[in-house]
A and B are shown apart, each in its own frame.
Chain A
Amino acid sequence: MRKHTMGLLAAAAASTLALSACGGAEVGGEPEGGSSEGAGDGITIGIKYDQPGLGLQDGADYTGFDVDVARYVANELGYSEDQITFRETPSANRESMLQNGDVDMIFATYSITDERKQVIDFAGPYFVAGQDLLVAADNTDITGPEDLEGKNLCSVTGSTSAEKIKTDYAEGVQLLERPGYAECVTALSAGQVDAVTTDDIILAGLAAANGDGNLKVVGNPFSEERYGVGLPKGSDQCEDINAAITKMIEEGAWEDAVAANTEGADYTPNADLNPPTPEACA
């Protein structure tokens, strides 16, 4: 249990200390080091801070698949490691943070949708995730969302993924809602729920961080979420980013990153859709 909690430990410590260090109601301020957005000699990249396996603040460092892709792309664009500044972009604020210039680009489980394309640009996709289920490793009777009839399912408060299962697949499913996915995993490990649902790669990250091999991703995704790189509208970097993603895939670094960040979860991404080919830029 010890090893895998390290990341979470460090993440919480770092983020809470950062909060208390900047002392009080410092709104939108950079805690220290100043901001570098817009400056020619650095790049600010938005990621998730609380998603093990994808984007996680780990002490002074950041880990996860999104972070690895972001680093690779930034290097290809000509930025060295110490020119990259990471910043948290929670789901609800991603569009506005791009529009306000708070960040230059976003790698944060950011699904490409037509609605979002109206206000921002996307490069990529660099990964295709799908809604899936996380279950106990020895569970054999849940192989897809239809099997959840009469079963207990956990999801995050306010997320639509659990509602989707209820309306589209299994009306008789019982829903537990907790504030974070990690608590769902606790309930799953204790046997009080049968499954946890969200995007497959997020589940894989959770399983890798929490399960000691006790949990597995079912591997039967029933939706298609194409993770793209969020860019401000009218950005001229789309082509370069797509070239970098293609290169990362061809070099095998993409595959290494997936494997490294989902280690121990017995997870392979949907091979029909991965690795994806970046779409033509707008």
Chain B
Amino acid sequence: MNDHLSGLGALLLQYDVLGAFWTNIQLTFWGALFALALGTLLALMRISPIVSLRWAGATYVSVFRNTPLTIIMTFMVMGVWTALQIQLADDFQNNFFRLAVVGLAVYHAAFVCEAIRSGVNTVPLGQAEAARAIGLSFLPAARLIILPQAFRGAIAPLGNTLIALLKNSTVAAAASVSWETSSTMKTMIEFNPNYLWEIFAVFAIGYVILVIPIGLLTTSLSRRLAVKR
């Protein structure tokens, strides 16, 4: 038993488990940043008075929300990099990392857009009417009145999207980011099958530890920042 435990300890030292988690955290951070920017833009397009932009935003959302992320990630390497020869960095590590970030961002932007739209849905009609009544046109009304309230109302769904993004960062394995958690776990299990349960427990608990604070934080934020009505 003691041998077994010390064997597990040696295993955790041999493979860079913390580094793997750090990779997923970085993927999540950059993915979330770009997804938030793109998703906000898409949400603006979808609620704008301009039909062509509304249509483009809606199309984007239904395309990317309905495509498996695994395909998008495979596409980043086999389509964008191999077929189109688009390179995002000279060295492979950075290149695949950035391709994976782009893949995560374009996929989750669709969900960010819908989360913000659902936040817009929480803003009462009177707010928009009041904004127009004081003479604001679409963009100023959106910037000063609608979006600030919408973001507050969207915190809970945005938090869910962030949790999903963190978990989905494991799919970067399909974009050849082979030093992230799911690939590291797979290699560890392949070469140390007698530690199958322990290895899985380590990685699963790692994710539980990362996910639960995000959930608690967004829940309390969404309560604290909720617009009292």
Contact = CB atoms under 8 A, between A and B. Distances in A.
Interface of A: 92, 152, 157-158, 174-178, 183, 186-187, 190-192
B82 A175 contact: no
Contacts of B92: 152, 174-176
Interface stretch (B109-117, B163-171, B183-191): B183-191
A157 B178 contact: yes
A176 B190 contact: no
Contacts of A152: 92
Nearest to A154: B176
Given A157-B178, A176-B176, A192-B81, 19 more contacts: A152-B92, A157-B173, A157-B183, A158-B186, A174-B93, A175-B92, A175-B178, A176-B92, A176-B96, A177-B176, A177-B178, A177-B183, A183-B78, A186-B82, A190-B82, A190-B83, A190-B85, A191-B85, A192-B85
B3 interface: no
Nearest to A172: B91
Contacts of A178: 77, 176
A166 to B, nearest CB: 12
Interface of B: 77-78, 81-83, 85, 91-93, 96, 173, 176, 178, 183, 186-187, 190
A146 B85 CA distance: 26
Contacts of B183: 157-158, 177
Q: Interface SS of chain B: helix, strand, loop or mixed?
A: helix
B53 to A, nearest CB: 36
A259 to B, nearest CB: 32
A158 B83 CA distance: 24
7 contacts: A92-B190, A152-B92, A158-B190, A177-B178, A192-B81, A192-B82, A192-B85
Contacts of A187: 78, 82
A261 to B, nearest CB: 27
Most buried by B among A92, A152, A183, A191: A183
Which 7 residue pairs spanning A and B have beta carbons closest together?
A: A174-B92, A177-B178, A190-B82, A192-B82, A187-B82, A158-B187, A158-B190
A190 B80 CA distance: 12
A157 B183 CA distance: 8
Contacts of B93: 174
